[in-house]
Amino acid sequence: MNDKLTSKVINRLTLYHCILADYEENSCEYISSVKIANLLKLDNSQVRKDIKLLNNTGKCNVGYDVKALKKSIEKALGFEDVKDVFIIGAGNLGAAIAKYDRFQSYGLNVIALFDTDENKIGTAINNKKIYDIKDLPELSKKMNVDVAILTVPRRSAQKAADYLIKGNIKYIWNFTHYILDLPDTIKVWNENLIGNFLQFTLDKNKDKND
């Protein structure tokens, strides 16, 4: 992992990746840094600097090779290391994520959901089975899963997290807006959708994508 890939660089690289995926789908072979910069309203020099961090062999004067550049980004950002994940909570958000097949191309492979609702347990969303959350500790160990996406209602968040602790989950992507009480061995990413968006709508002078 390249130390120069700060969070801002990673954020931009994933946006470049979106553009490259579109170019690849449309069978476009080359793309210039100017084109990427214009689409994202960034400086051309910024785009070239970011791409340079990937040690990509593309030449700026003829443009970058779309497939090769896309591959470099995937390698740098770890999209190639597929991580199996559980979704905890088969409600609106959990279902939306389970149906969102695009996560897979970023290395996240949803293999099952968990819920407490007896009407949901045993059914499936997008061919991913919904299990009783009580079975999580056993299944996470058996299936060797250590990443969980937590989408339960806020009031059930800690209770669900307690099952994740028992199941030796190591990474929690927390969408609940509840700050969990966890041992230091578990890393949690508190997803903060609204905070990100507010930074952008707040009347500030600098470009938030920059």
Applying CB under 8 A, the residues found at the interface with its own copies are: 1, 5, 7, 10-11, 13-15, 18-19, 21-22, 39-41, 77-79, 83, 92-93, 95-96, 99-100, 102-103, 106-108, 147, 154, 171, 173, 177-179, 181, 184, 187, 189-204, 208-209
Q: What is the SS3 string spanning 168-209?
A: CCCEEEECCCCCCCCCCCCEEEECCHHHHHHHHHCCCCCCCC
Q: Which is nearer to its own copies, 91 or 137 (CB)?
A: 91
Instruction: Quote the tokens at residue 25.
Output: 């789908």
- The residue assigned the tokens 């030796």 is 168
Whether 12 contacts 42, CB under 8 Å: yes
Least distance from its own copies to the Cβ atom of residue 126, Å? 10
Report in angstroms how near the CB of residue 98 gets to its own copies at its nearest.
Answer: 9
Nearest Cα residue to 109 out of 149, 71, 70, 151: 149
| Nearest CB to its own copies, comparing residues 61 and 201 | 201
Shortest distance (Å) from residue 36 CB to its own copies = 9
Output phi, psi for 102, to 5 deg: -65, -25
> By the 8 A CB rule, do 159 and 143 touch?
no
Q: Which is nearer to its own copies, 54 or 108 (CB)?
A: 108
Element spanning 98, H or E: helix 92-99
How many Å apart are CA 6 and CA 26, to the nearest integer? 30
Closest CB 100 distance from its own copies, rounded Å: 7
Which of 49/170 has CB closer to its own copies?
170
Shortest Å, Cβ 102 to its own copies:
7
Closest CB to its own copies among 83 and 134?
A: 83
